[in-house]
Amino acid sequence: MALPILYSYRRCPYAMRARMALWAAQVQFEVREVSLRDKPAHLLQISPKGTVPVLQLPDDTVLEQSLDIMQWALAQHDPQGWLHADREAVNHFISINDGDFKKALDRYKYPERYPEQQQLFYRQQGEQFLQALETVLQQHRFLLSDSASVADVAIFPFIRQFAAVDAEWFAGSAYPQLRAWLNGWLESALFVQIMRKFPTYIEST
């Protein structure tokens, strides 16, 4: 039987969240690791916007947003109950992450592309979100409660990127609960699994 096909990029945080959900759901799928500079024609044909992740189901349905892929995967099987969370609270955190925080992250990571401000300015913008997460993590182990939810899984890959821009700064920053939470995800068997390396997919012509 044909498997779902995931076009992915190992280091992309959107692709990471999609792979986390697919693995957690124990869905079998084919990973096609792409080069962002040389995207496969089939990917562009099924999803002309040209971002990853994209999941093509055996019935040819195409899911071209990471959150839709997570939702689809966990609707198949959700052994850890990641969807058992208040939808509104989940959306609240993810929308800040994917909006203002991602914007600050891009600028903090590549300040040379955004010379209007200093790198520190962009870091401080991102820290508003770090502080909000730190505050909720002082109250419970995960973002919404003592159980992990889709919000944690969707967000930690972006915090990982932010932390990695200046690992020394992050290690000494005022966000100890956030660091512990992030480390928990980075050390999880699931994360190790989804970060396995695949050779770049070569399309047969």
* Cα separation, 24 vs 40, whole angstroms: 27
**Binding stretches for ligand GSH (CB under 6 A):** 9, 12, 14, 36, 50-53, 65-67
**Gap between the Cα atoms of 98 and 173, Å rounded:** 22
Residue of 39, 19, 42 whose CA lies nearest to 154: 19
If the CB atoms of residues 66 and 149 are measured against ligand GSH, the closer one turns out to be 66
Q: Is 35 helix (H, G, I), strand (E, B) or coil?
A: strand
Torsion of CA 94, 97, 102, 104, to 10 degrees: 160
Nearer to ligand GSH, 47 or 149 (CB): 47
Decide: 193 and 23 in contact? Cβ < 8 Å. Answer: yes
Smaller CB distance to ligand GSH: residue 137 or 154?
A: 154
Beta carbon of residue 72, minimum distance to ligand GSH (angstroms, whole number): 13
Shortest distance, CB of residue 176 to ligand GSH, whole angstroms?
28
Nearer to ligand GSH, 44 or 192 (CB): 44
Minimum distance of ligand GSH from residue 14's CB (angstroms): 4
Cβ of residue 38: shortest distance to ligand GSH, in angstroms?
10
